Copies of this chain bind each other. A is one copy, B any other.
Amino acid sequence: MRKIADLDRFDRQLLALVRQNNLEPARVLADKIGLSLSAVLRRLRRLRDEKVIVADIAVVNPALTGSALTMHVLVQMQQAGPQTMDNFARAIVHHPEITGAWDITGEDDFLLKVQVGSMEEYDAFTRRALGEDKGVHSFTTLIAIRNIIENDVARRPLRDG
């Protein structure tokens, strides 16, 4: 992956702009940062090719997309060695229900943010992702009653009307 140091002032300015609006014509961006049209297009292409920009998406009103249930799960491992931690971290990446995951300090080892459509789905998820064969000792579920702030790029299907 490219290092931050490899991004010059123009790259950073471009990213700051397209992160707010990626439909703005390159010509406008060029004027804003004081570069030519082609330079802007070349840089944007490279930023996308090199996965500095990982996606270009429309953000849909959360009221329309919000999952039925948002859970946070505090996970304690059986033994918090680097090996076990890494294995678990690598394993959870593939679960689409998990929209956030952090390796944390304190009593617990991981914090997961999970979005599911129903309690049944959550139950199935825990069995699949947090079974004891994964090195998990125990976990605590924090059920979200209400989403107050939710900045996630939701990738779940839209709720039906």
Give this chain's copy count: 2
The answer to the question of A119 belonging to the interface, with a C-beta cut-off of 8 Å to chain B, is no
A44 smallest CB distance to B (angstroms): 9
- Of B5, B6, B54, B144, which contacts A61 at CB under 8 A? B54
Q: How many Å lie between the Cα of A19 and that of B154 in the bound state? A: 8
- A interface residues, how many (CB within 8 angstroms): 67
Q: How many Å lie between the Cα of A1 and that of B153 in the bound state? A: 20
Report chain B residues within 8 Å CB of A150.
100
The answer to the question of A104 belonging to the interface, with a C-beta cut-off of 8 Å to chain B, is yes
A3 smallest CB distance to B (angstroms): 7
Most chain B Cβ neighbours within 10 Å, of A60, A92, A150, A152:
A60
A140 smallest CB distance to B (angstroms): 8
Beta-carbon contacts of A128-159 to B below 8 Å, as 1s and 0s?
Answer: 00000000000010111111111111110111
A14 smallest CB distance to B (angstroms): 9
Residues in chain A within 8 A of chain B (CB atoms): 1, 3-7, 12, 15-16, 18-23, 51-61, 63-65, 70, 72, 89, 92-93, 98-106, 108, 110-111, 113, 140, 142-155, 157-161
Given known contacts A53-B59, A72-B102, what 19 new A-B pairs fall within 8 Å (CB)?
A4-B161, A15-B58, A15-B60, A15-B65, A15-B158, A18-B58, A19-B60, A20-B155, A21-B57, A51-B61, A53-B61, A56-B59, A100-B100, A103-B145, A105-B142, A106-B140, A106-B142, A111-B144, A151-B153
